Structure 1
């Protein structure tokens, strides 16, 4: 997977999460399916790359990976994993490039 394709995955995951809204989640397969539509790959073939990039986003503190509403390490989690933007202290959600409303 080249750097340009990794960036496309990163952008796709963040785009879907931002569109879904604060506190909401997406399934890794949703990102793979969306990316498959845009790239011509079969979505099953994109699951591992999407999980890899999602792990990097989690490592950077941008997103969280969840199973049954518990934060997990996506590298070792088996089965369906959901992703959400990581909320920053005092904020409802961490939207890259946007300021979130203060929790009051």
Structure 2
């Protein structure tokens, strides 16, 4: 699923931005998708609100690839089905060092 997003320059910038923010935040910490939209709006211009739908679409792909997970009230949720505010965090893989390539 994520492979087709790498052909889209905006999707790739979103992916890089989300992963960069998560790495900066550190293991076990999360970001709001709007943080990525706001950071990206500063970098590419435009309104952050207009980037929310693309950020969420990229987050779905990253979650399906097992790189991140979406959480709501500290419970992992499926971004395709959940409503309301969510947060994103790097997925912890038990017994493995966490390393995510950008």
TM-score higher than 0.5 here? yes
Q: Matches of 2:48 and 2:80 in 1, distance apart? A: 19
Q: Structure 2: which 5+ runs fail to align?
A: none
SS at match of 1:79: coil
Match of 1:94 in 2: 98
Which segments of structure 1 move beyond 6 Å, counting only runs of 4 or more? none
Relative to the length of structure 2, the TM-score reads 0.88
Q: Structure 1: which 5+ runs fail to align?
A: 98-104
Q: Matches of 1:63 and 1:20 in 2, distance apart? A: 13
Deviations 1:62-94 (A, max 9, x none): 000000001111122111110000011214x63
Structure with the larger RCO, 1 or 2 (CA within 8 Å, 6+ apart) = 2
Choose 1 or 2 for highest CA Rg: 1
Root-mean-square deviation (CA, aligned residues, Å) is 1.6
Relative to the length of structure 1, the TM-score reads 0.86
Q: How many residues align?
A: 96
